[in-house]
Amino acid sequence: MLARSGILTSVDGETVAVENASAGGAILLVCEHASAHLPAAVGTLGLSSEALSSHIAWDPGALALCRLLSAKLDATIIHQRFSRLVYDCNRPPESPAAMPEKSEIYEIPGNKDLSVAERYARTAAIYVPFHDRISAELARRTAGERGSVLVTVHSFTPVYFGKPRAVEIGILHDTDSRLADAILEGAAKTGRFRVERNSPYGPEDGVTHTLRLHALPAGHANVMIEVRNDLIANSVDQEVMADYLAGLIADAVSVVGGQ
Ligand SMILES: [Zn+2]
């Protein structure tokens, strides 16, 4: 029996959102953890409202930051409309973290002992259309002889397992570090925020899935940016951060170029 096979219903709307679709710049902004929203069919996954609005459900501030970057960099945004608690689109279907049974200190009852059919239904409804949309956008640009630079935007919690994190901005990369190197070089010159390479996560944690899937095979310059969420908690701070990052990204792209 295909339990919960109708993971998305008519009340849920589309899986993928595209904003500033007619932007002409080389950069494509992707936000996998933009939303804390859950499909009606999964209810609350057995979680409290506190957990459902916390960083385990989404990346607070990341989509707002993306929107400001989109305007400053003339960049299209593709973002996921559902919480990573139902499917974490920065993880492949075979990863236990794609539909986590535990996230930081929270057990997720609604993700315990999912059947193969349930995992398949979530993958088909949430993960596949999201990554198909990114692939289609990159293919469209390549067909039009237009270069692409993939920038994924995330936020992280300032306190993890009770431990404060000192890093303020993480510049993450996989095997292609061209864009990350150029951004880190620019950041070192400003000395403004505490900016670190592959921190607080790195490729060894499996967080470069989107980069590996879409940028590495085609040779598109790419980077994953992680901002500590207390630095983008309100619109004033988001604007400051967007100005700072847009400058760094634009300078770095002018060095590395789009492919
Ligand atoms: Zn994230």
The Cβ-side half-sphere exposure at 119, using a 13 Å CA radius, reads: 16
The helix/strand/coil state of 27 is: strand
CA–CA gap between residue 207 and residue 196 (Å, rounded): 16
Centre of ligand 1 from the C-alpha of residue 29, in Å: 13
Average pLDDT, the chain: 95
Q: How many CB atoms lie within 10 A of CB 48?
A: 10
- Place 131 in a pLDDT band, splitting at 50, 70 and 90: very high
Q: What percent of the chain has pLDDT over 90?
A: 94
- Place 257 in a pLDDT band, splitting at 50, 70 and 90: confident
Centre of ligand 1 from the C-alpha of residue 226, in Å: 7
Centre of ligand 1 from the C-alpha of residue 58, in Å: 7
26, exposed or middle or buried, with CB in 10 Å at 0-12, 13-18, 19+? buried
Can you say how many angstroms the Cα of residue 122 is from the centroid of all Cα atoms in its chain? 18
pLDDT tens for each residue of 218-247: 999 999 999 999 999 999 999 999 999 999
What does pTM read for this prediction?
A: 0.96
Centre of ligand 1 from the C-alpha of residue 198, in Å: 13
The Cβ-side half-sphere exposure at 50, using a 13 Å CA radius, reads: 2
Residue 179 has pLDDT above 80, yes or no: yes
pLDDT tens for each residue of 184-230: 999 999 999 999 999 999 999 999 999 999 999 999 999 999 999 99
Token pair listed for 166? 């000192």
Spatial contact of 37 and 81, defined as CB atoms under 8 Å apart: yes
Centre of ligand 1 from the C-alpha of residue 2, in Å: 30
Q: What is the mean pLDDT of residues 144-171?
A: 96
Centre of ligand 1 from the C-alpha of residue 144, in Å: 30
Beta strands in 94-235 (DSSP E): 102-103, 106-107, 149-156, 159-160, 163-164, 169-172, 195-197, 221-228
Centre of ligand 1 from the C-alpha of residue 206, in Å: 12
Spatial contact of 131 and 201, defined as CB atoms under 8 Å apart: no
